[in-house]
Amino acid sequence: MVYYANPRKKHVRTIPVEKELMLHDPAAQKVYALNPTAAFVWTLCDGAHTIEQMIAATETQFSNTTQMDISQDVRQTVDWFSEYDLLEFDEKDLKKW
């Protein structure tokens, strides 16, 4: 089965800060700081990329990290985005991967 990451919520603002990215969620009145890997994963959360495509793109972008680490990091990062309500949500998408 193929699973797509849910798209980013439109109201969440992205603010580039040097090599990192800040996310501002005005609805929750919170700001999140993302490291370069999480920032890259965030850009791929568009509803068009599968989790496997996101892992492959991240492996290419950050080739100095082991494949196992990247797979786990991408999945955990997408879970974190979901947990903090930064992605669009559909009931049928519950814990897909």
Within a domain: residue 91? no
**Inside any domain, residue 66:** yes
State how far the alpha carbon of 32 is from the alpha carbons of 37, 57, 71, in Å.
Answer: 14, 23, 22
Residue 94 within a domain: no
Tell me, yes or no, whether 31 lies in a domain.
yes
Does residue 28 fall inside a structural domain?
yes
Number of H helices, E strands in the chain: 3, 3
Quick check: 5 pLDDT over 60?
yes
pLDDT tens digits, 25-34? 999 999 999 9
In the chain, pLDDT over 70 holds for what percent of residues? Answer: 86
Give the DSSP per-residue string, 20-54: EEEEEETTTTEEEEE-HHHHHHHHH-SSSSBHHHH
| Residue 5 belongs to a domain | no
Q: Does residue 34 sit within a domain? A: yes
Residue among 24, 65, 19, 26 nearest 40 (CA): 19
Is pLDDT at 65 greater than 70 in this prediction?
Answer: no
pLDDT of residue 97: 44
Q: pLDDT tens for residues 67-97?
A: 668 999 999 999 999 999 999 976 555 455 4
Amino acid at 72: Q
Per-residue pLDDT at 64? 75
pLDDT on residue 4: 80
Domain count for the chain, please give it.
Answer: 1
Whether residue 19 contacts residue 62, with contact meaning beta carbons closer than 8 Å, is answered with no
Identify whether 71 is part of a domain: yes
Give residue 77's domain range: 13-82
